[in-house]
Chain A
Amino acid sequence: MLSRVANSLYWMARYIERAENIARIVDVNLQLLLDMRNLDEKRLIEYWEPIVQATGDDEAFFKAHPHATGKAVTEFLVFQPENPNSIFQCICSARENARMVRDQITLELWEELNRVYLFIRSPHARKVWDRSPSEFFQEIKSASLHVIGIINATMVHDEGWWFVQAGQFLERADKTTRILDVRHRTLPARGAPVNVSPTDAIEWSAVLRSCSAWDAYKTIYGADVHPRLIAEFLLLDDDFPRSVRFCVNGLNRAVRRISGVAEGHFCNDAEKLTGRFLAELQFSSVDEIFEVGLHKYLDDAQLKLNNIGAALFQAYIFQPFHNPDEQHMVQQEEQQQQERGMRPSSPVSPY
Chain B
Amino acid sequence: MLKKYKVNGGFDEMLCAKTGIRDHYRKFHKTFEKMKPAEFDAKREAVDAAFMRQGITFNVYGDAQGAEKIFPFDLLPRIIPATEWEFLERGLTQRITALNLFLHDIYHEQKILKDGVIPEFYVLSARHFRREFVNFNVPKDIYIHICGTDLIRDKDGNYLVLEDNGRCPSGVSYVLENRRAMKRTFPSMFEGIGVRPVENYAQELLKSLKYIAPSGVADPTVVLLTPGAYNSAYFEHTYLARQMGIEIVEGRDLFIRDSRVFMRTTKGLQPVHVIYRRIDDDFIDPTVFRRDSMLGVAGLINAYRAGNVSLANSIGTGIADDKVMYYFVPRMIKYYLDQEPILPNVPTYLASEKDDMKYIMEHLPELVVKAANESGGYGMLMGPKASKAEIEKFRKLVIAEPRNYIAQPMIYLSQHPTFCDGKFEGRHIDLRPFILSGERVSIIPGGLTRVALRKGSLVVNSSQGGGSKDTWVLYGDE
Contact = CB atoms under 8 A, between A and B. Distances in A.
Nearest to A100: B229
A96 B241 contact: no
B265 interface: yes
Contact of B54 (A1, A111, A258): A111
A209 interface: no
A163 B265 CA distance: 13
A110 B247 CA distance: 18
B54 A103 contact: no
Given A2-B249, A114-B55, A118-B52, A319 B264 contact: yes
B242 interface: yes
Which secondary structure dominates chain B's binding surface?
Answer: mixed
B86 interface: no
B255 A4 contact: no
B265 A2 contact: yes
Given A100-B229, A103-B241, A103-B248, A1 B266 contact: yes
B130 to A, nearest CB: 25
B379 to A, nearest CB: 31
B266 A316 contact: yes
Contact of A102 (B228, B238, B252): B238
Contacts of A159: 266
Contacts of B228: 100
A99 interface: yes
A3 interface: yes
A111 B53 contact: yes
Interface in B234-268: 234-235, 238-239, 241-242, 247-250, 252-253, 255, 263-267
Contacts of A96: 229
B221 to A, nearest CB: 12
Contacts, number: 59
Contacts of B252: 4, 326
A118 B249 CA distance: 27
Nearest to A7: B266
B253 A114 contact: no
B242 A102 contact: yes
A111 B238 CA distance: 15
B428 to A, nearest CB: 32
Contact of A1 (B53, B234, B239, B265): B265
Contacts of A317: 266
A107 interface: yes
A45 to B, nearest CB: 33
Contacts of A4: 249-250, 252-253, 264
Contacts of A321: 255
Contact of B266 (A3, A107, A118): A3
Nearest to A260: B267
Contact of A99 (B55, B264, B265): B55
Nearest to A98: B55
A150 to B, nearest CB: 14
A67 interface: no
A6 interface: yes
Contacts of A103: 238-239, 241-242, 248
A114 B54 CA distance: 7
Interface string A154-174: 000001000100000000000
Nearest to B223: A2
For the complex of A and B, the 6 pairs showing the least CB-CB separation, nearest first, are A102-B238, A103-B242, A103-B238, A316-B266, A103-B241, A3-B264
Given A2-B249, A102-B55, 17 more contacts: A2-B264, A3-B265, A3-B266, A4-B253, A99-B234, A102-B238, A102-B242, A103-B248, A110-B54, A110-B55, A111-B53, A111-B55, A114-B55, A159-B266, A319-B255, A323-B298, A326-B252
Interface of A: 1-6, 96, 99-100, 102-103, 107, 110-111, 114-115, 118, 159, 163, 258, 316-317, 319, 321, 323, 326
Interface of B: 52-55, 228-229, 234-235, 238-239, 241-242, 247-250, 252-253, 255, 263-267, 298
18 contacts: A2-B249, A2-B264, A2-B266, A4-B264, A5-B247, A96-B229, A99-B229, A102-B55, A102-B238, A103-B241, A103-B242, A103-B248, A111-B55, A114-B54, A118-B52, A316-B266, A319-B255, A321-B255
